[in-house]
Chains A and B, each alone.
Chain A
């Protein structure tokens, strides 16, 4: 099965600085890579995703890059704000797999703290 590794486990940045979280995956058949944000005591929520047919995707201050050859993908947050403080999870799955389900395999999470 798929194995997703995520680094770092904790990250502290000053407000306004950039934050980068990196993930690697093991299954070359994976083709969909979402990122979820989980605020304290809340449910995980999708913030951005990327499919294997593109190398980069941006949404305002958030961007995700994908290197299929190296099997790694990264989340970039620019101009960080205190409300960006949360746990971020990367995930990988193969859409259209034989199981018929989009089972997400998650990384272990990164706790991001933005210091005002």
Chain B
């Protein structure tokens, strides 16, 4: 099992450009999440999904959109990148029967210039 895999690992965008981050998990988890990690602020939830075809807003959803067309994939989109979106993005997944542990991807370092 690969666990949770994020693509890409690094990216530099110009202000106003768009991009999509892909998260894939092979653990048959129901729940998937996108977090951003900024210095001194911990991990903050952007959007989450409780199952295929469902998404919901987290703590800091503005400027981001998500989709979960397949159970194993959770996509995070930035339609018009801003310097404030410079961050490290982590995808996570959790919940299979009897197991609540959240597993994280390796992170995507995004810089918006």
A43 pairs with B50, CB closer than 8 A? no
A106 pairs with B102, CB closer than 8 A? no
**Shortest distance from the beta carbon of B79 to any chain A beta carbon, whole Å:** 24
B33 pairs with A103, CB closer than 8 A? yes
Query: How far, in whole Å, are A6 and B40 apart by their CA atoms in the complex?
Result: 11
Interface size counted on chain A using CB atoms at 8 A? 25
Residue in chain B with minimal CB distance to A6: B42
Residues A106 and B50 in contact in the complex (CB < 8 Å), given A43-B104, A99-B56: no
Interface size counted on chain B using CB atoms at 8 A? 26
Interface centre among B42, B94, B101, B105 (most CB of A within 10 A): B42
Q: What residues on B are CB-neighbors of A102 within 8 Å?
A: 31, 94-95, 100, 102
Query: How far, in whole Å, are A45 and B106 apart by their CA atoms in the complex?
Result: 10
Instruction: Mark B residues whose CB is within 8 Å of A.
Output: 31, 33, 35, 40-45, 48-50, 56, 58-59, 90, 92, 94-95, 100-102, 104-107
Instruction: Mark A residues whose CB is within 8 Å of B.
Output: 1, 4, 6, 9, 32, 34, 42-46, 49, 89, 95, 99-109
